[in-house]
């Protein structure tokens, strides 16, 4: 039997199980906290900082912090929402995200969050960095231009011995996600499809098929991201 | 080659948590870590090649490309630059005929830049094939390169002799100076080594040791200032089949070098502190994480550990205490400032990239190998020994109400006597400046780049955890220094270079802010640029670790305390400037096609 605990999010009391993270507790109770790097079933690693909340006047990431009885969480406040919008803008200017030509448009979580947080023009200057595209795998195009370094592919796409297909390379501002040369050539089409699905943006594209679902009929084309959670 | 690599892997039992050591050994053997080796390693450790590259590419001193026979890493710290690094660099480049970041075509000499190497009181300094060269001049640089070209061994190039104290021991043999300027409770030579292990631990329970430390009110000397007694208590309560004591000797904050001096002159006390901590916490394994830049101390330190084992100060039933087994291993880092952050350090100890962990859980609960781990700074652990010997009451007399005890300061920059000063907490900045012989002071950087830049109006403030906390880095700047282009820009470059990059904020925002700063420095800034920097910097607050959270401090604290410098640079006549210059942007491409750029708008 799991222990039930109570926490408050923006003053609203919710009940959850001991051991759940704050984001899990919130989403189960119909409260939206935006996430990008978090992925159900994989260990959380607070990379994107989108799920930032405030507890006792301290910023925490709700995807990594377990809910504890009596916790009071600030989530949907002006301060925090502006940070979230800032993070989205920062991700846009530090990559090359050209939505209209992207196969992931409409299914892209970054794009959907930008709409939800009403990003018009980023406050930061565009960097237009030089990034590479790796098409050496028979099934995958790994496009560094669109990568937001969330680690989801690294954490979830592995072979039966636990070896990673994707990995970080370099650090800091030079950080990239690399597809392993050898394993990328041997990847199955099913796993390649899964990699594309698990990527929140259009950085991992499954080769050969494109625009199967037309733009306009995709996941976030009609309802904003988060509406599937909110009640 | 292949056999040798398999040998190296089996030396570490094919244990992927020892990847750091495996890579060090391979690089020492082969000079670099090539594709074939990476494939072999991946195969033997059941990892993908990409996973091996993930670790290799994280650390500054591992290379997947051939390095030279002799590799020169020229320090790029702010004090190096203040002491003529630019001319030294030019001398290196001219003498070698290459630009920095390159290897000569004959593969003999490589020239690279590196972040602060902990020699701020003897700059400009460089590491040449693991040997430290200090106080370089263009003249010496030419001699060094000439010597190398004539086939001299790196060791033969040292004409300065050795530094002071133990630096002159044949086993260290380093051109490094301790520059100890002021001794106090910690550095005074009144402690017969190993008294605590021999005489006190056998008569005192582990709880009593923790109580002494708690009552002494000592707080961590690594910068964060967590109460040491409390940390030990948490560590001793956490459950696990092993517990670990880690000594953090990564000392990466630019401007600090006191841990280097402690490890050179007082290593026994540091190790003894680890043993005492091990006893108090109930740990059986100690690990000292030594930054790669201090590799020249490694053999010396291992020798001391060996002696301690011989005397039963390490090993089983230490000092006759039946159930107290404890031993220490030294782990060499590979060039990453972030590995000073305790959870990044632990990741690195496990053979991975130095990416800080999300907290909670804290290392005292889930640290190294997910077991309870107490991480303490070198200075904390050395001090603990004297506290156990002399008692908590003795320590409480030192310092001020808010912050008890003494602190080692690493003072460098524009002052006559850079070096190590042991002072009591509560000392005024003005006294510090007088003490080190600083004149015409414009500013002092307290606590390294992640700390604050203070000007004259703050010189009567005191060092303390509540007002001016510091890990000990103090860099003085006189009135001739250009704070923005010489200091603030250097510090921003440092954070951009050293961020682990996992947080979206820390990976990108310092870079964006540097862009703005450069815009101002280049005379293209406007008033709103200053406000933008202050506002945008807030976003870094939501970063995971202290690096990201403080990465804008150089800019924010200089705007706060030296606003006039920014105001003087921004354009008053206009409110907006894109910062984009068509003239300079097309310069390179015009040059390539041998054309003169032609601009009509301002003809
Ligand atoms: C970016 C960063 C770098 C750090 N570097 C060091 C370091 O080089 N040495 C150190 O002792 N502590 C460093 N720390 C602090 C450690 O995380 C940790 O608090 C400390 O080692 C604990 O020891 P103490 O309590 O004895 O100070 C760093 C922290 C951060 C965020
Ligand atoms: S704040 Fe910076 S250095 Fe720290 S974990 Fe995040 S990206 Fe890494
Ligand atoms: S979703 Fe929590 S940090 Fe990315």
**Domain assignment of residue A163, yes or no:** yes
Would you say residue B251 has pLDDT above 60?
yes
Instruction: State whether A39 and A125 are in the same domain.
Output: no
φ/ψ of B442, rounded to 5, equals -95, -40
B539 touches chain A (CB under 8 A): yes
Residue with tokens 């990699």: A195
Mean pLDDT rounded to a whole number for chain B: 96
Q: Which of B340, B358, B367, B373 to mutate to test the pocket of ligand 1 (most atoms within 8 A of CB)?
A: B340
Inside any domain, residue B301: yes
Verify that B389 and B487 share a domain, yes or no.
no
Give me the number of domains chain A comprises. 2
Are A72 and A55 in contact by the 8 Å Cβ rule? The answer is yes
Residue A208: per-residue pLDDT: 87
Whether B45 contacts chain A with CB within 8 A: no
In a domain, A179, yes or no: yes
- Is A211 part of any domain? no
Query: What is the per-residue pLDDT across A161-219, written as a single tens digit (0 to 9) for each?
Result: 999 999 999 999 999 999 999 999 999 999 999 999 999 999 999 998 888 999 999 99
The per-residue pLDDT for B603 is 42
Q: Which residues of A touch B39 (CB under 8 A)?
A: 182
Which residue, among B382, B50, B430, B416, has the nearest Cα to B188 in the 3D structure?
A: B382
Looking at the domain assignment, is residue A221 inside a domain? no
CA neighbor of B547 nearest in space, from B289, B340, B359, B248: B340
pLDDT digits (tens, 9 = 90+) for A61-113: 999 999 999 999 999 999 999 999 999 999 999 999 999 999 999 999 999 99
The dihedral through the CA atoms of B265, B269, B273, B274 has a sign that is positive
Tell whether B375 and B420 lie within a shared domain: no
Interval B4-60: pLDDT, tens: 999 999 999 999 999 999 999 999 999 999 999 999 999 999 999 999 999 999 999
- Closest chain B residue to the Cα of A154, Cα to Cα: B51
Are A201 and A94 in a shared domain? yes
Confidence (pLDDT) at B268? 98
Whole-model pTM: value is 0.96
Decide if B600 is inside a domain.
Answer: no
Give the CA-trace dihedral at B419, B421, B426, B432, to 10 degrees: -40
Which range marks the domain in which residue B153 is found? 70-160
Residue B101: CB atoms within 10 Å: 9
Q: Residue B424 sits in a domain of what CATH number?
A: 3.10.20.600
> What phi and psi values does residue A225 have, to the nearest 5 degrees?
-60, 140
Residue A1: the pLDDT is 57
Asked whether residue A47 falls in the same domain as residue A97, the answer is no
Residues A179 and A121 in one domain: yes
Structural domain contains residue B170: no
Position A54 in a domain: yes
Interface of B with A in 308-347 (CB under 8 A): 336, 338
- Mark whether B454 and B332 lie in a shared domain: no
Which residues of chain B neighbour A48 with C-beta distances below 8 Å?
504
B423 inside domain = yes
Residue B227, burial from CB neighbour count under 10 angstroms (0-12, 13-18, 19+): middle
Residues linked to residue B332 through DSSP beta bridges, in sequence order = B290
In CATH, what number is assigned to the domain containing residue B388? 3.40.50.11540
* One domain for residues B381 and B429: no
Residue A215 to chain B, least CA–CA distance (Å): 28
Ligand 1 centroid to Cα of residue B204, in Å, is: 29
pLDDT in tens, B398-414: 999 889 999 999 999 99
Q: Find out whether A18 and A25 touch, Cβ atoms under 8 Å.
A: no
Quick check: is A216 in a domain?
no
Contact criterion met (CB below 8 Å) for B474 and B445: yes
Residues A60 and A93 in one domain: no
- What beta strand segments (E) does chain A contain? 4-9, 12-17, 52-55, 58-61, 72-74, 133-134, 140-143, 166-169, 176-179, 204-206
Question: DSSP labels for A104-142?
Answer: TTTT-HHHHHHHHTT--S-SSPP------EE--SSSEEE
List beta partners, residue B127.
B73, B132
Closest ligand 1 atom number to CA of residue B250: 8
pLDDT at residue B581, as a whole number: 82
Judge if the beta carbon of residue A48 lies within 6 A of ligand 3: yes
Sort out which chain B residues have CB atoms less than 8 A from A175's CB and list them. Answer: 501-502, 507
Are residues A165 and B500, on separate chains, in Cβ contact within 8 Å?
no
Write out the two tokens for A56. Answer: 């006792």
CA–CA separation, B572 and A36 (whole Å): 42
Instruction: For residue B424, count other CB atoms closer than 10 A to its CB.
Output: 17
User: Do B586 and B503 fall within a single domain?
Assistant: yes
**What mean pLDDT is reported for chain A?**
96
How large is the average pLDDT for residues B56-78?
96
The total domain count for chain B is 5
Asked if B119 and B246 sit in the same domain, the reply is no
Task: Identify the domain boundary among B96, B127, B160.
Answer: B160
Are residues A153 and A122 both part of a single domain? yes
Q: Are residues B353 and B326 in the same domain?
A: yes
What CATH number does residue A42 fall under? 3.10.20.740
Same domain (yes/no): A89, A201:
yes
Q: Are residues B204 and B260 in the same domain?
A: yes
Paired tokens of B380: 């904390």
The answer to whether the CB of B250 is under 6 A from ligand 1 is yes
- Counting ligand 2 atoms within 8 A of each CB, the residue from B224, B345, B495, B501 with the most, and so the one to mutate, is B501
Amino acid B588: pLDDT: 86
In a domain, B527, yes or no: yes
pLDDT digit string, tens, across residues B456-509: 999 999 999 999 999 999 999 999 999 999 999 999 999 999 999 999 999 999
Same domain, A64 and A127: no
Same domain, A199 and A89: yes
Which residue's entry shows tokens 């039963």? Answer: B312
Answer yes or no: do B471 and B488 share one domain: no
Task: Tell me which chain B residues have a C-beta less than 8 angstroms from the C-beta of A124.
Answer: 512, 536
Which of B103, B126, B160 corresponds to the end of one domain?
Answer: B160
Of all atoms in ligand 2, which is nearest to the CA of residue B548? 1
CB–CB contacts below 8 A, A to B: 139
Is residue A102 located within the same domain as residue A201? yes
Distance separating alpha carbons of residues B474 and B471, to the nearest angstrom: 9
Q: Are residues B366 and B457 in the same domain?
A: no
Average pLDDT for A134-138: 97
Residue A71 and residue A145 in one domain: no
Nearest to B503 among A49, A163, A174 (CB): A49
Q: Which domain holds residue A50?
A: 4-76
**A165/B50 touch (CB, cutoff 8 Å), yes or no:** yes
In the block, residue with structure tokens 């920097």: B533
Listed in sequence order, the residues at least 6 apart from A8 whose beta carbon sits closer than 8 Å to its beta carbon are A14, A71, A72, A73
Give the C-alpha separation, B216 to B404, whole Å.
8
Give chain A positions within 8 Å (CB) of B543. 49
Helix H or strand E segment including B507: helix B504-521
- Say what the pLDDT of residue B597 is: 77
The radius of gyration computed from the CA coordinates of chain B, to the nearest angstrom, equals 25
Domain check: are B470 and B503 in the same one?
A: no
Q: What is the tens place of the pLDDT at every residue in A27-72?
A: 999 999 999 999 999 999 999 999 999 999 999 999 999 999 999 9
For range A128-147, the mean pLDDT: 97
Statement: residue B266 has pLDDT above 80 = yes
In a domain, B547, yes or no: yes
Give pLDDT tens digits for B299-314.
Answer: 999 999 999 999 999 9
């Amino acid at each position: 039997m799991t222990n039930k605990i109570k926490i408050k999010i923006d003053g609203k009391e919710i009940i959850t199980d001991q051991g759940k993270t704050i984001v899990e507790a919130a989403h189960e109770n119909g409260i939206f906290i935006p996430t990008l790097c978090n992925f159900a079933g994989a260990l959380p690693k607070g990379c994107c900082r989108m799920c930032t909340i405030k507890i006792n006047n301290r910023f925490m990431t709700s995807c990594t912090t377990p809910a504890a009885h009596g916790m009071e969480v600030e989530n949907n406040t002006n301060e925090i929402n502006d940070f979230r919008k800032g993070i989205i803008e920062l991700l846009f200017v530090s990559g090359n995200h050209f939505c209209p030509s992207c196969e992931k448009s409409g299914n892209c979580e970054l794009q959907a969050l930008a709409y939800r947080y009403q990003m018009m023009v980023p406050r930061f200057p565009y960097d237009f960095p030089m990034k590479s595209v790796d098409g050496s795998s028979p099934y995958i195009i790994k496009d560094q231009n669109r990568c937001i370094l969330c680690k989801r592919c690294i954490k979830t796409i592995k072979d039966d011995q636990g070896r990673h297909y994707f990995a970080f390379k370099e650090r800091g501002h030079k950080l990239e996600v690399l597809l392993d040369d050898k394993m990328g050539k041997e990847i199955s089409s099913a796993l390649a499809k899964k990699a594309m699905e698990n990527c929140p943006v259009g950085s991992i594209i499954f080769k050969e098929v494109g625009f199967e679902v037309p733009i306009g009929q995709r996941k976030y084309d009609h309802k904003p991201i988060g509406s599937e959670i909110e009640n | 080659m292949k056999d040798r690599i398999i040998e190296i892997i089996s030396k570490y039992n094919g244990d992927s948590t020892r990847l750091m050591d495996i890579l060090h050994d391979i690089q020492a053997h082969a000079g670099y870590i090539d594709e074939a080796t990476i494939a072999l390693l991946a195969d033997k450790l059941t990892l993908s090649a990409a996973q091996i590259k993930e670790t290799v590419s994280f650390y500054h001193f591992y290379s997947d490309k051939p390095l030279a026979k002799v590799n020169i890493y020229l320090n790029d710290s702010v004090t190096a630059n203040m002491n003529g690094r630019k001319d030294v660099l030019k001398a290196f480049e001219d003498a070698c005929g290459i630009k920095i970041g390159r290897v000569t075509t004959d593969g003999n000499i490589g020239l690279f830049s590196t972040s602060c190497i902990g020699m701020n009181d003897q700059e400009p300094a460089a590491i040449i094939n693991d040997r430290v060269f200090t106080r370089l001049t263009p003249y010496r640089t030419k001699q060094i390169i000439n010597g190398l070209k004539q086939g001299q061994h790196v060791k033969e190039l040292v004409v300065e002799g050795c530094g002071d104290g133990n630096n002159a021991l044949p086993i260290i043999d380093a051109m490094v100076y301790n520059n100890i300027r002021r001794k106090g409770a910690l550095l005074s030579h009144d402690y017969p080594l190993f008294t605590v292990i021999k005489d006190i631990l056998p008569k005192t329970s582990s709880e009593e040791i923790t109580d002494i430390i708690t009552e002494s009110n000592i707080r961590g000397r690594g910068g964060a200032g967590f109460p040491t007694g409390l940390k030990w208590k948490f560590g001793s309560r956490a459950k696990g089949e092993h517990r670990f004591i880690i000594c953090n000797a990564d000392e990466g904050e630019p401007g600090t070098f006191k841990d280097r001096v402690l490890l050179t002159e007082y290593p026994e006390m540091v190790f003894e502190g680890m043993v005492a901590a091990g006893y108090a916490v109930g740990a059986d394994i100690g690990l000292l994480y030594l930054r790669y830049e201090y590799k020249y101390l490694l053999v010396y330190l291992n020798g001391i550990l060996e002696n301690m084992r011989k005397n039963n100060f390490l090993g089983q039933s230490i000092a006759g205490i039946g159930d107290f087994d404890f031993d220490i291993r030294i782990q060499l880092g590979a060039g990453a400032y972030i590995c000073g952050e305790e959870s990044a350090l632990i990741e690195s100890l496990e053979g991975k990239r130095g990416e800080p962990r999300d907290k909670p859980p804290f290392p005292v609960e889930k640290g190294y190998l997910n077991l309870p781990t107490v991480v303490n700074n070198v200075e904390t652990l050395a001090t603990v020994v004297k506290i156990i010997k002399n008692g908590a009451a003795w320590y409480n007399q030192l310092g001020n109400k808010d912050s008890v005890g003494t602190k080692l300061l690493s003072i460098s920059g524009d002052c006559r006597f850079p070096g190590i000063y042991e002072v009591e907490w509560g000392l005024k900045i003005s006294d510090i400046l007088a003490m080190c012989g600083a004149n015409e002071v414009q500013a002092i950087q307290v606590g390294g780049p992640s700390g604050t830049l203070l000007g004259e109006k703050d010189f009567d403030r005191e060092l303390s955890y509540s007002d001016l906390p510091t890990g000990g880095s103090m860099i003085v700047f006189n009135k001739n220094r250009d704070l923005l282009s010489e200091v603030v820009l250097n510090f921003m470059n440092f954070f951009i270079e050293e961020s682990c990059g996992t947080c979206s904020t820390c990976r990108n925002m310092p870079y964006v802010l540097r862009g703005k700063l450069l815009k101002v420095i280049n005379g293209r800034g406007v008033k709103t640029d200053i406000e933008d920097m202050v506002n945008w910097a807030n976003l870094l607050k939501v970063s995971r670790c202290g690096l990201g959270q403080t990465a804008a401090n150089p800019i924010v604290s200089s705007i706060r305390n030296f606003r006039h410098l920014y105001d003087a640079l921004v354009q008053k006549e206009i409110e907006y400037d894109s910062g984009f210059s068509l003239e300079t942007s097309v310069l390179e491409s015009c040059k390539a096609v041998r054309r003169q750029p032609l601009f009509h708008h301002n003809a």
